[in-house]
Structure formats: C-alpha cells, structure tokens
Amino acid sequence: MAYTYIDLFCGAGGLSLGFDRAGFRNVLAVEINPGFAGTYQKNFPSHRLVIDDIKNLDEKRIRELTGGKRIDVIAGGPPCQGFSIAGNIGRTFLEDDRNKLFREFVRFVEILKPRIFVLENVAAMATHRRGETLRTILDAFGNAGDGYRVQCRVLNSADYGIAQERRRTVLVGVRKDLDTEFSYPDSTGVTRTIRDAIGDLPPLESGESSSIPNHAAMRHSAQMLKKMSYVKDGGDRMDIPEELRPTSGDVRKYIRYDSKKPSVCVTGDMRKIFHYEQNRALTARELARIQSFPDDFIFVGTSIQIQQQIGNAVPPVLAEKIAEKVEEALKHAEISQSKLYRK
C-alpha cells in the first residue's frame, strides 16, 4: 500500500511529481493561484486539487477533504517574505504578517499529525537573524501536534544531477513517537551543465516557435538583440560597449549562461539572461529542463505566469530523491513497530 502525502502551496507541481515518481499517493493539493492550478490540473488530473486560499480551510473542511485517511507526509513550500531585516525590527519570524502562510503549514501539521513533513524554502531561512528565525521555526514544529524532531539542511540542486545552482533550505520533521530517523540524500557526484540539459533542443531565433510544447522564444527588441550580441558565453554586461551598456539594474541581468557550468538559479523572471550561444532568452521548455521537468510536463498560462510557475517550483528530481529518503524512514518506523509488537 502506497504511502500518502499532501502538497500545500503546490504551484505547478514539482514536489508532487517527485513524490508520485517515488511511489507516494496524493490525497490533497492546495493552490491559491488559478493560473498555477491550471498547470497542476493538466499534469495531475487524478489528484484532488483545491483552488483556494489555505486560510479558508478550517479544521472541519480539512478533515472532509482528507476523508479520514492517514496522512504519512505533508510537503510544501509556503511563501515566506519576512527574511529581510528591513521592516522586521522587533518582530519575530512568526509575528511578521508576511509569514502567515508558514503558520498555515504548521496548522495543517497540528491538525493532521502526519508522520513526516517536508518544508522547502529559500536558503536564507537557515541563517536569518543569526539563526534566531530557524530556532523559532523548530520550536513551532516541536510543539505542533504530537511534536516533531526537525532537521534542517541547505541543499544545492547541482549536487543531485540537476543542471542548476539552486540552494534551498529543506526542513524535515519526524513525529516524536516514531522510532526512525530521516537522512538527507547523498550527492550524486555528477555535475550537469546547462548544455547537457538543453543542448539537444532545436535552435530558435527571437520570436520563433517550435512544435515542442513550451519551446517558443520571446521576441526581443532590436536594441536588446544588439546588446546581447556582444555578450560572450559565460559573459556579462561588461562585454557590451560602454555606450550601449546598461548602467543600472540588477547585476544578475544582461549575462549569458556559461555552457560549461550548471545554470544560475531559475527565478520567475529570466528575460534578461541569454542563451549561451543563441541571441535570445531561454524558452519555458529550456527553463523547465533546467529545473528537471520532463518534456511531457506541459505548462499552461501566460508567458510570465509560466516563468513564475517554473521559477517557484521544487525541481522534481530533487523532490524524488527526498521522497525516497522519506520512504526509507517510514519503512524503518514500520519495521521498528512490528518488532515491538512481536515482543
């Protein structure tokens, strides 16, 4: 019998895809954004998806939606914006209104008491306010429901055969009554470059489309095309002649991917980061490949919505590796329980 999981703040479904691939069975997914939910519905038609603000789901509704099933895992990546010092003076992480959605994740854990939870968030969570924020989070889960033993580690996608430098905090909590431990997946020791991930896709000119789903190039202005033509493989805005060079804006823009390295972190706006050899930004399919989504995973929505869906997602390959280690911990708990009963 498959272990069960819930995906909160599911977005396009990177976590769900990873857990499904590892053999878990989805009981419920929750997403507030209808555009993101459209992609989830298209790719997971058999999952029970609720498109609503998670704060609207009270305990009665949560229990109705889960149908009294045992929930083995709650997974999700609640948006938490309260990691900057500005505007947060004198308030703890949990007191900051920007982190209400984190508290909603804790509430689901308190109500359903899953055997394990997995929470993914930005790397800054681990070091914010010299560790004070993390201690607050650990305390919240330690007191939730029956209480959880919580581990925290910052994982880099590039360590797991994914063609992207993407560092994220992954918290894993094991219910205190379970005789088991969770261990994070080991690095594969294999480095994949961006060329490894997308090099076989057909080349495109600015504004050109293809028959491959989501592989269509955005249309750039003549001025932008001229600027990017100067930027070499792995180069940046300093390759652009001074009279054309942008003098302000994000320094992470007007750069060209380095074909010999993993991609920079994929975000919701990659329009001013250029293909390593073609004069254009990457297509949604290329960004999805970098995030380790398969080509049969179809994204729907406007171009900016799709970029946001891809940029916000947990890479499915990493999610699957985490899910496999969660399964190991759950199986060990069952073995320990059966030994106890035999005594």
Q: Which of 45, 49, 48 is nearest to 33 (CA)?
A: 49
Lowest mean pLDDT among 16-25, 90-99, 183-192: 90-99
The pLDDT assigned to 131 comes to 74
Residues carrying an active site annotation: 80
The pLDDT assigned to 117 comes to 96
Let me know if residue 128 belongs to a domain: yes
Q: Rounded to whole angstroms, how far apart are CA atoms 98 and 84?
A: 11
% of the chain exceeding 70 in pLDDT: 92
The pLDDT assigned to 225 comes to 96
Higher pLDDT, 140 or 90: 140
Q: What are phi and psi of 297, to 5 degrees?
A: -90, 110
pLDDT surpasses 60 at 88: no
pLDDT surpasses 90 at 89: no
C-alpha distance from residue 266 to each of 204, 314, 324 (Å): 20, 11, 24
Mean confidence (pLDDT) of the chain: 91
Q: What is the mean pLDDT of residues 126-135?
A: 76
Q: What is the mean pLDDT of residues 322-326?
A: 98
Q: Rounded to whole angstroms, how far apart are CA atoms 157 and 340?
A: 38
pLDDT, tens digit, 9 for 90 and up, residues 43-79: 999 999 999 999 999 999 999 999 989 999 999 998 8
Lowest mean pLDDT among 64-73, 245-254, 328-337: 245-254
pLDDT band at residue 86 under the 50/70/90 scheme: very low
Let me know if residue 74 belongs to a domain: yes
Per the structure, the count of domains in the chain is: 1
The pLDDT assigned to 341 comes to 54
The pLDDT assigned to 211 comes to 96
**94-124 burial by CB neighbour count: b if 16+ within 10 A, else e?**
bebebbebbebbbbbbebbbbbbbbbbbbbb
Let me know if residue 336 belongs to a domain: yes
Structural tokens at position 109? 């854990």
Q: Which domain holds residue 44?
A: 4-188+313-342
Let me know if residue 252 belongs to a domain: no
Burial class (CB in 10 A: 0-12, 13-18, 19+), 261: middle
Let me know if residue 47 belongs to a domain: yes
Is beta strand 167-175 parallel, antiparallel or unpaired with respect to 116-122? antiparallel
Q: Rounded to whole angstroms, how far apart are CA atoms 29 and 329?
A: 23
Q: What are phi and psi of 292, to 5 degrees?
A: 80, 20
- Please report, for the domain that includes residue 20, its CATH number: 3.40.50.150
Let me know if residue 155 belongs to a domain: yes
Q: Are 93 and 131 in contact (CB under 8 A)?
A: no
Q: What is the mean pLDDT of residues 334-343?
A: 64
The pLDDT assigned to 288 comes to 98
Q: Rounded to whole angstroms, how far apart are CA atoms 103 and 95?
A: 10
